[in-house]
Amino acid sequence: MRTQVAIVGAGPSGLLLGQLLHKAGIDAVIVERQSPDYVLGRIRAGVLEQVTMDVLDEAGVGTRMHAEGLLHGGFDLLFKGQRHRIDMAKLTGGKQVMVYGQTEVTRDLMDARQAAGLPTVYEAAHVAVHDYGTDHPRVTYEKDGQTHTIECDFIAGCDGFHGVCRASVPKGAIKEFEKVYPFGWLGLLADTPPVHHELIYAHSTRGFALASQRSLTRSRYYLQVPLTDQVEQWSDQAFWDELKRRLDPQAAEHLVTGPSLEKSIAPLRSFVTEPLRFGRMFLAGDAGHIVPPTGAKGLNLAATDVKYLANALIEFYLDKSEAGVDAYSEKCLKRIWRAERFSWWFTSLMHHFPENGEIGQKFQEAELDYLIHSENGARTIAENYVGLPLDFGQ
């Protein structure tokens, strides 16, 4: 088989890239290790920046998002038992974010790809990338007992943190930056009305909690838990009881509980790979970087990587220029590091770090107090939360 761009991974990054390339008349084949149901079964964050909404619109998959997503102009920070609203819209000249789950984004992209009849190979085993240091890269995989080869001009590594593309790069040609946090997030999804119409980020001596949502009838909550905890140790009742202890009394009273639809523990990590281009192979999305989920930057960064990559490839094919391809890595990394810094800082501010002692706790409370009482402080959070424009600092 021959195509222009072979995309490894059919998560949101790979599917979005496929869609943007298709709109520009560039052929791509996607090769995915898992089944579509498996891909849709992964529950991840659900807050989209304006830039992400714009890219999804451009890709022609924004209709359901606009119909069903919830626009939020602010969120609450809770500490020392009291909630304080960060009025994002007021502080950023009217910017808002869209609450719309990654699962739904992925579903919309899958449907669009299927409707356009574009090729995706699911359940491909032993996917491998070859010869991306030359002008004739290849992707091979096994399916139904046969080995298949895709010859292409470029490989897009959209295969997530555990993918094969980054792993195929020789150690000396890549630098990895990593910080692993000493706790995880226990998440619970339930068909119950959200406790509040906006998100609540809660700092407490018992640990961080987040009250999020997927719709007016579906809630998503998280608790900071030790890395040693197993999800089986947490009954639904234990989860709800602990969440109530970490929320303010009014929220705790209003919290509607119910059976969990999903419950899982995710570790927290900051991770960046440099560079993101290796000859004719590019990394995009979680393949190149991971942020801790505080602030929900993961999907948004993936969307902007992909937008930059699509532009670079369009420039290559339509304008016969390699300038975009050459600039891809640096351009992405500038934006990635900004979001990495914010996600690390917001994580450090909001979580409980027993190893920092009581004085660490006091420092966090004083910083939060400063942030909510200073317009500049509040704007710093708001500006980062709504995200950078696509062409920032270029």
12 binds, among ligand APR, ligand PHB, none (CB under 5 to 8 A by kind): ligand APR
What's the min distance (Å) between Cβ of 125 and ligand APR?
9
- Cα radius of gyration (the chain): 21
Q: Which is nearer to ligand PHB, 107 or 143 (CB)?
A: 107
Count other Cβ atoms within 10 Å, centred on residue 374.
11
Assess whether 385 carries a catalytic annotation. Answer: yes
Question: Where along the sequence are the contacts to ligand APR (CB under 6 A)?
Answer: 8-14, 31-34, 39, 44-45, 102, 127, 158-160, 162-164, 285-287, 298-299, 302
Which is the catalytic residue, given 293, 307, 308, 331? 293
Say how far apart CA 83 and CA 202 lie, in whole Å: 8
Q: Are 205 and 171 in contact (CB under 8 A)?
A: no
Establish if 311 lies at the interface with ligand PHB (CB under 6 A): no
> Which residue in the list 141, 222, 308, 385 is annotated as catalytic?
385
Rounded CA-CA distance 67/314 in Å is 30
Q: Are 203 and 349 in contact (CB under 8 A)?
A: yes
137 binds ligand PHB (CB under 6 A): no
Number of residues that bind ligand PHB (CB under 6 A): 11
DSSP state of 387: -
Q: What SS3 class is residue 9? A: coil
Catalytic residue, chosen from 203, 297, 331, 351, is 297
User: Are 157 and 9 within 8 A, CB to CB?
Assistant: yes
Question: Which range of residues in 117-125, 170-178, 287-295, 358-366 is near ligand PHB by CB under 6 A?
Answer: 287-295
Alpha-carbon distances of 320 from 164, 235, 259, 325, rounded to whole Å: 29, 58, 56, 11
In the residue annotation, 122 being an active-site residue is answered as: no
* Residue 302 site contact among ligand PHB, ligand APR, none (CB < 5 to 8 Å, cut-off depends on kind): ligand APR
**Closest to ligand APR by CB, 272 or 287:** 287
Smaller CB distance to ligand APR: residue 45 or 312? Answer: 45
DSSP characters over 322-333 = -HHHHHHHHHHH
Residue 1: CB minimum distance to ligand PHB, A: 37
Q: Which does 127 bind (CB under 5 to 8 A by kind): ligand APR, ligand PHB, none?
A: ligand APR
Residue entry with tokens 């959200």: 194
DSSP code per residue over 86-106:
E-HHHHTTS--EEE--HHHHH
Cβ atoms 271, 290 nearer than 8 A: yes
Q: What secondary structure letter does DSSP report for 2?
A: B
Q: Which is nearer to ligand APR, 45 or 333 (CB)?
A: 45
Binding site partner of 198, from ligand APR, ligand PHB, none, Cβ cut-off 5-8 A by kind: none
Residue 294 interacts with ligand PHB (CB under 6 A): yes or no: yes
Q: Which stretch binds ligand PHB (CB under 6 A): 54-62, 110-118, 291-299, 348-356?
A: 291-299
194 belongs to the binding site for ligand PHB (CB under 6 A): no
Whether 201 is catalytic is yes
77 binds ligand PHB (CB under 6 A): no
Residue 218 burial by Cβ neighbours in a 10 Å radius (0-12, 13-18, 19+): middle
Give the residues across from 262 on adjacent strands: 189
Separation between Cα atoms, residue 386 and residue 75, nearest integer Å: 11
Active-site residue flag, 297: yes
* 273, 288 contact by CB (below 8 A): yes
Provide, rounded to whole angstroms, the least separation between the CB of residue 202 and ligand APR: 21
40-69 residues in contact with ligand PHB (CB under 6 A) are 45-47
By residue count, the chain amounts to: 394
How far is it, in rounded angstroms, from Cα 394 to Cα 391?
6
Chain residues 211-230 in contact with ligand PHB, contact rule CB under 6 A? 212, 220
Q: Which amino acids are annotated catalytic?
A: 72, 201, 293, 297, 385
Applying CB under 6 A, the residues found at the interface with ligand PHB are 45-47, 199, 210, 212, 220, 293-296
